A and B are shown apart, each in its own frame.
Chain A
Amino acid sequence: MNPFNLLTKTSCKLSEAKTLGKWKLLVGCYTLADRVKDVFDSIDAEMKVWFVVEEYKFEAADLPSDGSDLILGTGDGEHEVLEGLIARIVQERECVCIDATGFIRPHLLYLIKEIRRRGVIKFDVLYSEPAFYSNKESTSFSKGAFRHARQVSTFEGVHEDPGNDVLIVGAGYDIDLIQAIVENKSKCRLINFVGFPSLVADMYQENLLCLDKAGLPADWSEIDFVPANDPFITAGALFNRVYQLVREGANNIYLSPLSTKPVALGFALFYCLWCEDAPASIIFAYKEEYAQNTSVGVSRIWRFEVDFDLLLQIREHLGDIWQPN
């Protein structure tokens, strides 16, 4: 049995959102998408906090006026941008729910790792699937100029001398980001994690079209399939793949989650469990701006119960990746 199946995930339609659970604190990153705003309104929580980031380029008049608390994420680097939100979550500590849907991926990664480091061991993560993306395979989630491609803060590995380096990309729709990351680690052997099953049936084909436009993959044998809406299976798939790669002699592993938020969460969980002080980093291509709304409708809402106590037991059961047999 795959031990990651021990972790709990449930789903429901938007109209049934209140059946997902009741929380003390709900945090969400504000965008104009239905699946962010409508879900935020529908979830049952005592306190609700909107996290607003500069990348979405909201004017003051655009900000929510529903009475929820607002935390503005500003500054240089994840630790500055997210400090206020992290402090709020850590303060509540118990019965916290994070709606990942609107978060910029590196922020989500840093948030998960940092709240865990500060003692928030159990929390829930929500993700809402769209009915469809606004421009199908041409949907662009990020806009404007690149800032840089770099390691996500606290996901910087302790690397060995370069040799058989591997880049694992959770490839999504953002062709620019994929190209930037592949360019940044041009010497690495490239493995693509493609979302299958996809969120909606034709998104798999759309995803492949995006890969082709990005000039990938050069080698179809280097594609792994992970469900686009399951962070736990993603983490398990990463474990299997990295385990195999290390035994094949891989020196350094670079990970880049560029697809859905559940896949990004899976990358974060895998890293937290197996990659501290290891020759593995999570890298991301940072852009100046992100689209305020990229999707239409809400297909269903997922609740993922993140339990680091249980995850550590899974780690214990599966063992270390980095020591070859």
Chain B
Amino acid sequence: MKNPFLVNKASLLSDREVYNRWVELNLPVNPLEKLKSAMPAFVIGGKGCGKTHLLRYYSYQVLSEKYSKRVLEEIRRIKFLGVYARVENLNNDRFSGKGKSEDFWVSVFESYFEIWMLRGLLVILKDILEKSPNQEDERKVIQIIKEEFVEEDQISAQTISEMIALTGSLRKRLDKSVSMAFDASTQFDLGPSRAKILGKVADFLYNESHILRGVQINYIIDEFELLNESQQKYINTLVRQVGPSWSFKIGVRAYGLKTYDTLFDGETNRPDSEFQTIVLDEELRHNPKHYLDFARSVLKKRIEGTGFDTSFPPQVDKWFEPRPYERGDDAGVELVGTSADKMPRYLEKLAAKLARSPRVSKKSANDLASKLRVPGLPLVEKSLILMFVRAMRPNTDLDSLIERLGKLATYARENPESPIHPDVAKILSYFKEDLLAQIYRDYDKDPSYCGFATIVRLSGGLMRNLLMILRHLWDYAEFQTQGPWNGGVFSCEAQNAAIEKASMWFFTDAKVKGPRGMVAQECVARLCDFLKELRYAEKLTEPSLCTVAIPGSGISAQAISNISSCEKYSLLLPASGHKTKTGVQVLSRYQVNPILSPRWGLPISRRGTMELTPDEVNSIFGETGENFQAILKERLLSRSPIDLSENGGGQRDLFTDESL
């Protein structure tokens, strides 16, 4: 059975597939209404958030798939005609260098771009005129275009088809000239004088034409991030000059938005003034319930037509095996077992550390650790260890502390129906997931990320992440000959393997985006290393650590720039405000993109926030990660009151009150 998730890029879909796979986004406040408004709009988002699918959906070509012969009627109704174009097809990098000045290339690019977009509009007009012929309108459009050419009388085109051919020839002539631009003898025929030909044609159609009167022409430009700064300035200049008859809808990845400046000195476009913005993945993340429903609908659409969609369950979540420890209180027992004879590894470690203290003999250490035993309830045991390390002070009476905690263990053993003492329940209410992850690590296993809702949360609002996971999952399950198509489910093993692959793909993808992407990747890797060490430290202070708060002062310019890059590449996601415990003003708060969490065994749900110090921020987000190991060690010292390292070197030992 063909993998229905093989294609996970909207750019690879046909117009019909774009239409067929469309799923309405039923958000409480629909941001997509901005696209239908007359004002220019930038659709900003991470890679794979759905920008291309969205922009193509509003194109004339996809609208034609939807309405067929009635497309003109629909265009007149919504007063919107979308002329879609992808910057990738411009091969715009060639408009630079080759011994020519930047001003020269801006000039060439302006001409090329206008011919290119004009051609796109003419192709659509040709189609419309075939459905609803109007010679007068056709003649007038030709006339307007001819008037913009420097040598108008040289233009013999009489019909839209001939004008399309002409623009094609002009473009190809420019292609050849650009290719040989390093040769000083190369001539450039720049075509129309750059008098805003796109606007003039749109003005006529909107104000005077019979076929499209009152219809705004929307030039939809996708992949704006591929343009260099000068080219973006040029487009921004056009955005500034739009009128009621024409507008722009522009798709761009956050890291690729280089400037809002225009070619007019000192003039900059501003959000909500010259344009609106839609940050697509943010909208999805801020509405998790709607995003989950949306994801279910997307999955269903993909499955439709594969051959087993007739058995599609009302609840797709049932296809995904839940985590082994969804059961509850005895989570972790699948690893630790229930035998009373064998000490769990984490209690063995505790005993070993206690035994290093001169106050405690080895036998005593084992006895002390045994008092915390609750066979069959690893989470209770881990909670008691956490309570122990949190309570440990230099002068703590060890026996009394263990005695007190031992009573909680006894309570659990003697109350099998309701083993969780309120004190333990309080710990678990905060740290259950973290303690479980620690149990898994103690038994040399990675935490498990399973379930459809978990996978959706992992995608971080980027649909392509979700599709990537599902694609790998499908392949893996098929290889194992297990899956919903033969009555099975997607096993946890398959889900985790798929997630690991998708996570790797997402992480390494930043590197190919250029030097800033690479630096961002390195910074986030350091941050994740930092959070991982804290999550698996003995003394947990913040639950579910995947979010950090950046202080408002003491941060280097380099770190601020790199944090911004991390955000633009969607490696870090902005999180809403936070009141610090320390009263320090917070600059911003970020969550590690959930898709990265499995690589480091981090949680995916936000709860606690790690307040980073300025030194930590400057190290983690510095260009080279200077002093990173030192600042990590310093932070960990406060998390390991018993003994951090194997040889006990350099750590504070509470039992001897000596700095080792």
Contact = CB atoms under 8 A, between A and B. Distances in A.
Nearest to A163: B89
Interface stretch (A125-133, A176-184, A229-237): A176-184
Interface stretch (A8-16, A75-83, A238-246, A302-310): A75-83
Nearest to A183: B512
B469 to A, nearest CB: 13
Given A151-B91, A179-B508, A146 B86 contact: no
Contacts of A80: 99
B12 A281 contact: no
Interface residues of B, number: 33
A153 B512 contact: no
Interface stretch (A96-104, A154-162, A312-320): A154-162
A94 interface: no
A1 interface: no
Interface string B609-621: 0000000000000
Contacts of B512: 146, 176, 179-180, 183, 285
Given A77-B98, A146-B514, A146-B515, A153 B182 contact: yes
Given A79-B182, A158-B175, A186-B12, A150 B518 contact: no
A311 B272 CA distance: 60
Contacts of B629: none
Contacts of A153: 98, 179, 182
B271 interface: no
Given A153-B182, A156-B178, A187-B11, A162 B89 contact: yes
B91 A150 contact: yes
A148 interface: yes
B509 A187 contact: no
Interface string A265-308: 00000000000010001000100100000000000000000000
Interface in A64-84: 76-77, 79-80
A218 B6 contact: yes
A314 to B, nearest CB: 25
A186 B11 contact: yes
A77 B97 contact: yes
A288 B94 CA distance: 18
B547 to A, nearest CB: 28
B359 interface: no
Interface in B5-36: 6, 9, 11-12
A301 to B, nearest CB: 34
Interface in A183-199: 183-187
B119 A161 contact: yes
A215 interface: yes
B172 A158 contact: yes
A144 interface: yes
B505 interface: yes
Contact of A156 (B91, B511, B513, B515): B91
A145 interface: yes
B511 A176 contact: yes
B91 A159 contact: yes
A35 B513 CA distance: 32
Residue from B6, B97, B509 with most neighbouring chain A CB atoms (10 Å): B97
A150 B94 contact: yes
B176 interface: yes
A156 B514 contact: no
A104 B61 CA distance: 42
A65 B535 CA distance: 55
Nearest to A80: B99
A163 B518 CA distance: 33
A156 B97 contact: no
Contacts of B517: 145-146
B93 interface: yes
Interface of A: 76-77, 79-80, 144-151, 153-154, 156-162, 175-176, 179-180, 183-187, 215, 218-219, 277, 281, 285, 288
Interface of B: 6, 9, 11-12, 86, 88-89, 91, 93-94, 97-99, 119, 123, 168, 172, 175-176, 178-180, 182, 505, 508-509, 511-515, 517-518
30 contacts: A77-B97, A77-B98, A77-B99, A79-B98, A79-B99, A79-B182, A80-B99, A145-B517, A145-B518, A146-B511, A150-B91, A151-B91, A151-B93, A153-B179, A154-B179, A159-B175, A160-B168, A161-B89, A179-B508, A179-B509, A180-B512, A183-B512, A184-B88, A186-B9, A186-B11, A186-B88, A187-B11, A187-B86, A218-B6, A277-B176
